[in-house]
Amino acid sequence: MAQQADDATHFGFKQVPPGDKQGLVDAVFHSVAHRYDLMNDLMSGGLHRAWKAAMVATLNPPRGDRPFALLDLAGGTGDIALRAAGQAGSGFRAVVSDINADMLAIGRERAATAHLDERITFVEGNAEQLGFGDRQFDAVTIAFGIRNVPRINAALKEAHRALKPGGRFLCLEFSHVDLPGLDRIYELYSFNVIPALGRVVTGDADAYRYLVESIRQFPKPSDFAAMMRDSGFARVHWQAMSGGIVALHSGWRL
């Protein structure tokens, strides 16, 4: 079972105190915020759109006027909330929480452009200490953000606390490739092509070198599932996609 020590965490391959990681991660996303969506398209060949669409389809927000409250963590650009709002009915509301103000600014602009700013609220906040009361949300989501949290266990427990009984937690995250042959190709692509793309598109190769390294440090699906169960989630399972490049994790507060 994977456990994270209280006195150390990883920033890429480097071991750092948990209190230092958040500032380092903030600097990464401040550097790349203005080209974040473009880089996602280039890095994944557009596949990140299909992965996020699968996440929202699994979320399956109600189409009618039944109230439904979503909390999307580390979702600054609003990608998941905007997709969910586009499929949901009039009772849908979302709160997007992110610790990075630059990413949130992009999300607010996108929501206003889509005329969804009355249904989606953007707040600056830390996933390890949510500024919400207990049992407030029907669903909590986080897409490609959990590996950047210094204390993953703390964030999982906060997500569980914020959920209503019967609410669902969904986590979309890069995982461990499980197809022979693809694993080596993916490794070469990740450590050679992605930082080079980052240098050309954003002017910051180091930011994308960190993102690649952080994927390698993230627990295997079975270990992350154990962390979810330890945080109180039930009916925990995961679905590997694209040969294990990503996994969609699910758990419920019962």
Does the pLDDT at position 164 exceed 90?
yes
Looking at per-residue pLDDT, the higher value among 88 and 12 belongs to 88
Average pLDDT, the chain: 88
Q: What pTM was computed for the model?
A: 0.86
- Compute the radius of gyration of the chain from its Cα atoms: 17
pLDDT for 209 equals: 83
pLDDT for 9 equals: 67
pLDDT for 196 equals: 86
Does the pLDDT at position 102 exceed 70?
yes
Q: Which whole number is the average pLDDT over 54-68?
A: 97
Q: Which whole number is the average pLDDT over 166-193?
A: 90
Task: Record the tokens describing residue 170, joined without a space.
Answer: 């969904």
Q: Cβ distance 122 to 99 under 8 Å? A: no
pLDDT for 201 equals: 80
Distance in angstroms (rounded) separating the CA atoms of residues 60 and 235? 17
pLDDT for 15 equals: 57
Q: What is the DSSP string of 64-116?
A: SSS-EEEEEET-TT-HHHHHHHHHS-TTEEEEEEES-HHHHHHHHHHHHHTT-
Q: Confidence band (pLDDT; 50, 70, 90) for 5?
A: very low
Superfamily of domain 9-252: Vaccinia Virus protein VP39 (3.40.50.150)
Domain boundaries, the chain: 9-252
pLDDT for 198 equals: 80
Task: Record the tokens describing residue 156, joined without a space.
Answer: 């999982």
List pLDDT tens digits, range 103-158.
899 999 999 999 999 999 999 999 999 999 999 999 999 999 999 898 999 999 99
Amino acid identity of residue 211, one-letter, is L
